[in-house]
Structure 1
Amino acid sequence: METEQKQPESLNTDVSQGTIALPSAGNTNLPKLPPATTTPQWQQITQQVTDFLAELPEYLGSFYQQYSRTILTVLLILAAIVTLKVVLALLGAINDIPLLSSLFELIGISYSTWFTFRYLIKASTRQELNGEIRTLKTQLFGK
């Protein structure tokens, strides 16, 4: 085919200055481009991201050491919120079962009545309940 492009036969290269000029009749007066010694912007960004990711474990370690108690508190609060939502969803699902909700109400009323008659009517049983509560507190929290 005749539409093939011809390759330039030779290039004028000035190795001492690092410039390249194409052969033509009047290229002595044209400005020559300096060699590309700067790295492209995407390579700089890639290098910055790589450096950041390499130092990320150190950043996270120092952050955790500095704020470990606060992080633990926040995680415990989030866990309590999630647990509360799960329990409420479970109770809502149980409450939707027709006979089960009324059965649980009956059990709650029965236990409240028994507790009142067992511990709250007489002064001696109230003192017994108070002693049991103190014993439980010392077992849980110490003296």
Structure 2
Amino acid sequence: MESQSYEKETQTQESSAFNDDVAGVITTATSPVSSSGDADWQEWVNVVVDYLAKLPDTLGNFFSDYKQPLTTFGLIITATITVYVTLSVLDAIDNIPLLSSVLELVGLGYSAWFVARYLLKASTRQELFSEFDSLKKQVLGGKSQ
């Protein structure tokens, strides 16, 4: 008997907790009200949104203020990468057995031709210096004669 009365008592407690709803009626779920959790979260969201909204203007101002140093830095990085790649390619070419010897012979042949063409006679040396001066004036600026 005691067990039956205990079962009825627990059933009534359980059913009273769920009998608030009327059949067929849709109710909205209510969340417990938090004291400052939502407000803190909303403040952080607003700070992030404001920062992201101002980011394009901030970056634009930064790049316009530091255009020259950033360009110089970019050129230094590009030159470093170019030298590294060039040295890697030359090292790869040097590791090809016959190609390095052939390229050395080509260099020696060109050097011999240059000496014979421009450096043996005074008149050809003068021609070389005049070509060099005209090239220097074109590159550095100045009046050509």
TM-score (norm 1): 0.71
Distance in 2 between the 1:93 and 1:77 partners? 24
Alignment pair present for 1:113 and 2:112: yes
> Equivalent residue for 1:26?
none
The residue type paired with residue 123 of structure 1 is A
The residue type paired with residue 88 of structure 1 is L
> Equivalent residue for 1:82?
81
Counting only pairs closer than 5 Å after superposition, residues 26-65 of structure 1 correspond to structure 2 as 36=35, 39-65=38-64
1:13-67 residue CA offsets vs partner (Å, 9 max, x unmatched): xxxxxxxxxxxxxxxxxxxxxx847853333222212111111111111111111
> Equivalent residue for 2:100?
101
* Greater RCO (Cα-Cα under 8 Å, separation 6 or more): 1
Which one has a larger percent strand, Structure 1 or Structure 2? 1
Distance in 1 between the 2:97 and 2:37 partners? 76
TM-score (norm 2): 0.70
> Equivalent residue for 1:142?
141
Distance in 2 between the 1:38 and 1:85 partners? 54
Task: Report the aligned-residue RMSD.
Answer: 2.7
Secondary structure in 2 aligned to 1:40?
helix
Identical residues among aligned pairs (%): 44
Distance in 1 between the 2:91 and 2:43 partners? 56
